[in-house]
């Protein structure tokens, strides 16, 4: 298995409705990119100070399938249209698991 | 379901054997903390520049079970003995999924 993790901070003043739109768009990706085995995303629950504000966890059979996801045009469009305009910081890791 | 994500950067010069010891210690936690539903961790695969160096993804039935994990003494000992001495940066998110 191969796991992709991304954590985001949004620019100040980001509308929660815009974050909901990001969640809705991301949750459509498993229906579009069959290489995705499992997909979870959502806003931070607010339990710990200093946390980032949003995370995506995606699972694949291997790194090649992750690469299909990473470069898929529908995914890239979600990033360019919805995520990047609101992005203050992003941290990511991919790992064998 | 409730997902915890943490991403780490290590201090420069961290020995890969020390990271292997962290992985081994973390992978023992599901045997010690029955509230953990699923647990994955490992070093970054090196596919993308700017990534953090390590990640943990843990899944729970709900936030209360996450709190048991977060404060569990065996987990806290792994953090204090193995992780914190090598930690340069940490980013975390917990989210309903």
Q: Where do the structural domains in chain A lie, given as residue ranges? A: 2-96
pLDDT of A73-95, one tens digit each?
A: 999 999 999 999 999 999 999 99
The whole model's pTM is what? Answer: 0.96
Name which of B5, B6, B22 to mutate to probe chain A: the one with the most chain A Cβ atoms within 10 A of its Cβ.
B5
Neighbours of A47 (CB within 10 A): 16
**Which pLDDT belongs to residue A97?**
86
Considering the segment(s) A2-96 as one domain, its CATH architecture is 2-Layer Sandwich (3.30)
Can you read off the two tokens belonging to residue B7? Answer: 């991403």
Whole-number Å distance between alpha carbons of B92 and B97:
15
Which ipTM score applies to this complex? 0.96
- Chain B environment of A94 (Cβ under 8 Å): 44-45, 47-48, 51
Whole-number Å distance between alpha carbons of B24 and A11:
37
pLDDT of B17-35, one tens digit each?
A: 999 999 999 999 999 999 9
Does B94 reach chain A within 8 Å, measured CB to CB?
A: yes
Cα Rg of chain B, angstroms: 13
């Amino acid at each position: 298995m191969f796991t992709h993790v991304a954590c985001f901070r949004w620019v100040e003043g980001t509308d929660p409705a815009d974050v909901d739109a990001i969640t809705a768009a991301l949750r459509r990706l498993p229906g579009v990119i069959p290489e995705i085995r499992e997909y979870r995303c959502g806003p931070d629950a607010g339990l710990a100070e200093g946390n980032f504000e949003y995370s995506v966890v995606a699972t694949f059979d291997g790194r090649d399938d992750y690469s299909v996801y990473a470069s898929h045009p529908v995914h890239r469009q979600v990033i360019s249209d919805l995520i990047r305009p609101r992005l203050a910081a992003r941290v990511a890791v991919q790992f064998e698991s």
